[in-house]
Structure formats: C-alpha cells, structure tokens
Amino acid sequence: MSAPAIQFEKVTKTYTLCQHVAGGIKTFLFHLPAAVRQLRNNKFTALDEVSFEVARGEALGVIGPNGAGKSTALALIARVLRPNAGRITVRGRVLPLLELGAGFHPELTGRENIILNGVLMGLLRREVRARLGQIIEFSELGEFIDQPVRTYSNGMLGRLGFSVVAHLDPEVLLVDEVLTVGDAAFQAKCMRRMQEFRRRGVTMVFVSHDMHAVRVICERAMWLDRGRVRMLDASQAVTASYEAALAGGQARGEVPADGQA
C-alpha cells in the first residue's frame, strides 16, 4: 500500500470577515482598537479540524450544502490557500479543472488560450505545443479554434477547458462542479474521460451537487456540513444519506453569503 495522494490532518481554515474595513475607512479609523479587536474575532470557520485521506488513484466525491467548505478544501489541496492549523500532504502534480472559461482570455483565440492555459497549469511551452494537436482534436472545435474565445458558446468554452486539462497529465485532478456544461454528447464524453482518468490511476477530488455523477465516478464520498465532516464512506451510502437529509430539509445550515466557501 503506497502513501496516500492526499492527507488532511486536523486541518482548520478560517476566514477573517473584513466587514469593518469595507464599512468605511472613517468608521474603522475612529474606532481603531475596537475595530481591530472585532476584526480578529470576526472569523468564519470554513473547515474545522477536518481529517481525511485519498489513496492514490482513488476518486473522492465531496458533497454538502453551499458554504460547507467544499471549495475551500479544493483550494487547500491546490495550495492556493494555506491552512490556519493542521497538516496537508499532497503527493503528485495537482491540476484544477476550471469552471467555464475561467482561465481564458476572451480576446485570444482558442489555440492561443490553450498554450497560455497549459503554461499556467505548469507545462513548458514545448510540452503544450507537442499536445496541441490532440487537445484541439478532443475539443471538437474545428475551425473555431482560431476564433477569439469571446465568440464561443458556453458549451464550447467548457469543451476547450476540459480538453486542456485532460491532456496535461494530472496526477491529482480537482473538479469543482464543471461537468454540467456542453450538450449531452459532450457530457457523456467528459464522463468517459473521467473514467479514463480513473483507469490511468489519476487521483480525483470531485465536488458536485450531482449525486448521480458522484456515485458513478467516486468510490467514496465525504459529506461536509458547516466545515465538519458529517459522513465519510462509500459514495452510495453517503449520497443516499445526504439525499435523505435533503428531503427531510435538515441539510442546509446557515450560510454566510461571502462567496468564499
């Protein structure tokens, strides 16, 4: 048994809510001591001593209501955020699958965006160029590949983004609710590609509200609720409990609308 690809040991992540500064610099300065004290105490705990492991080649689904800490967990794995406490170990090259066109510049063509995106995600220029043909072919964009990305439909953007990541040889792939793009045929193709990643031994963390997709792609699932692990088990069992709780109307906690979690 090799070392797990991802290890979270009592990981805590809190965000400081900067209401006071946003509320006006004057208020902030005139009540400086109180403001600073409030700033320090006014924290939102996105993840609270969360521990889990993902074995190499395993796919873990992460489910839960908005604000439960799913995206925070992904950002911590991607090393975009640093934890306030606890330890995170990630072994292998981590790649995020970005949501619709997030990494693309609208004025550049599809082809130019592929190269820029590939380099941003960690490849050398020549490595991206060597894969350019495959990426373009997979995206099925045809002659649109030399048109500015702003002319693309949502489905086309999704296809381009997915095609890039699919060909970058990730060892750990982070997927944050992006499979709902494109037409049915393309979704099926993405699902197949996900399965192919699985067969190739790519470790996956899959955040989704689509319980069916979680069951199909992931062996195990983690249910996060207000920053804590509520359940971590086989994906069938976890999604079933979550759906039951949703039906019972008790899964949605109070969620601050800060857009971070």
Partner 1 sequence: MRGLQYHLDLIYELTKKELKVRYKNSALGYLWSVLNPLAMAGVFYVGLGLIIGVRVPRGEDYPFWLLLICGLFPWQWFSNSVNACTNVYIGNANLIRKVAFRREVLPLATVLNDLVHFAVSIPVIVLFLLLARHRPTLAWLYGLPLLVLAQFVMTYSLSLVTGALNLFFRDLANLVQIFLQMLFYMTPIIYSLKWSRIAAFRHWLLVNPLASLISGWQTLFLEGRFSLGMWQLAMGYSVVMLAAGMLVHRKLEGKFAEVT
* Residue keyed to tokens 């709902």: 180
Contact 83, 13 (CB under 8 A): yes
Nearer to partner 1, 224 or 261 (CB): 261
**Residue 248 C-beta: closest distance to partner 1, Å:** 33
Residue (119 or 185) nearer to partner 1, CB: 119
What whole-number distance in Å separates Cα of residue 14 and Cα of residue 133?
Answer: 43
Nearest approach, Cβ of residue 240 and partner 1 (Å): 31
The residue among 84 and 236 lying less far from partner 1, judged by its C-beta, is 84
C-beta of 91 vs 105, nearer to partner 1: 105
Q: Give min distance, CB of 148 to partner 1, in A.
A: 8
According to DSSP, residue 229 is labeled: E
Q: How far apart are CA 8 and CA 75, in angstroms?
A: 13
Structure tokens at 111: 């082809």
The nearest distance, CB 95 to partner 1, in angstroms, is: 8
Q: Which of 187, 110, 185, 167 is nearest to 142 (CA)?
A: 110
C-beta of residue 65 within 8 angstroms of C-beta of residue 253:
yes
> Given the complex with partner 1, which of 107 and 196 has the nearer CB atom?
107
Residues that bind partner 1 (CB under 8 A): 15, 18, 21, 25, 75, 78-82, 94, 96, 98, 102-103, 105, 107-108, 112, 115-116, 119-122, 124-125, 260
CB of 185 to partner 1, least distance (A): 27
Q: Tell me whether residue 98 or residue 232 sits nearer to partner 1 (CB atom).
A: 98
Amino acid identity for residue 44 in this structure? F
Which residue, 178, 173, 208, 169, is CA-closest to 90?
173
Q: Which is nearer to partner 1, 24 or 244 (CB)?
A: 24
The least CB distance from residue 198 to partner 1, in Å, is 22
CB of 259 to partner 1, least distance (A): 10
Q: Which is nearer to partner 1, 93 or 215 (CB)?
A: 93
Q: Cβ-count burial of 202 within 10 angstroms (0-12 exposed, 13-18 middle, 19+ buried)?
A: buried
| Shortest Å distance, C-beta 120 to partner 1 | 6
Residue 42, classed as helix, strand or coil, is coil
SS3 133: helix
Provide the token pair at 201: 């031994």
User: Is there a contact between 108 and 149 (Cβ–Cβ < 8 Å)?
Assistant: yes
Query: Is 64 in contact with 225 (CB distance < 8 Å)?
Result: yes
